[in-house]
């Protein structure tokens, strides 16, 4: 049975990853600080610290892969349609001379990558909350789709 302080530390480790919405790279910095301070004191906190960091590193890898797919596609499509013209008519924004039909396949892949990124961020938020609840209840939790970088 874990002590209340160990449960709170483990839960706070997971919740500290949400600092990414306020502080850049806070989702790596704060869990790393908490984990390094408590990994030798508590096996429970050590497990949850590793899980939080591995999940964040896995999400970073997935985000980089999605960006490497989407960004070149959008740049290529835009550069191939350089003579396009953007016009403001009354309250409308119109793009002329942009050939969607010739690039629909590439645009579909790029849009799919962007949608997957959005879905990944949405799921991340709820998994972090769920993991912190499990940790505060004294249960071990392992995030799905996580690569075990730290063992």
> What pTM does this model have?
0.85
Residue 84 is predicted with a pLDDT of: 61
Residue 1 is predicted with a pLDDT of: 53
As a whole number of angstroms, the distance between CA 62 and CA 29 comes to 19
42-92 pLDDT, tens digit each = 999 999 999 999 999 999 999 999 999 999 998 888 777 776 666 777 777
Q: How confident is the model at residue 102 (pLDDT cuts 50, 70, 90)?
A: confident
Q: How far is CA 98 from the centre of its chain?
A: 32
Q: Locate all alpha helices (DSSP H) within 16-80, ordered by sequence.
A: 26-38, 43-80
Residue 134 CB contacts under 8 Å (≥ 6 apart), including other chains = 140, 141
């Amino acid at each position: 049975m874990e002590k209340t302080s160990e449960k709170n530390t483990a839960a706070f480790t997971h919740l500290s990853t949400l600092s990414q919405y306020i502080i850049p790279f806070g989702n790596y910095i704060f869990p790393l600080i908490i984990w390094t301070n408590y990994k030798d004191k508590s096996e429970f906190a050590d497990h949850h610290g590793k899980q939080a960091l591995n999940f964040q590193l896995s999400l970073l890898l997935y985000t980089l892969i999605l960006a490497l797919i989407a960004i070149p596609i959008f740049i290529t499509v835009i550069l191939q349609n350089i003579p396009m013209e953007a016009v403001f008519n009354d309250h409308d924004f119109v793009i002329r001379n942009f050939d969607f039909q010739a690039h629909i396949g590439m645009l579909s892949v790029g849009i799919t990558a962007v949608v997957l990124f959005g879905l990944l961020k949405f799921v991340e938020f709820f998994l972090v909350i769920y993991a912190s609840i499990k940790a505060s209840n004294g249960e071990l939790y392992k995030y799905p789709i996580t690569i075990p970088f730290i063992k």
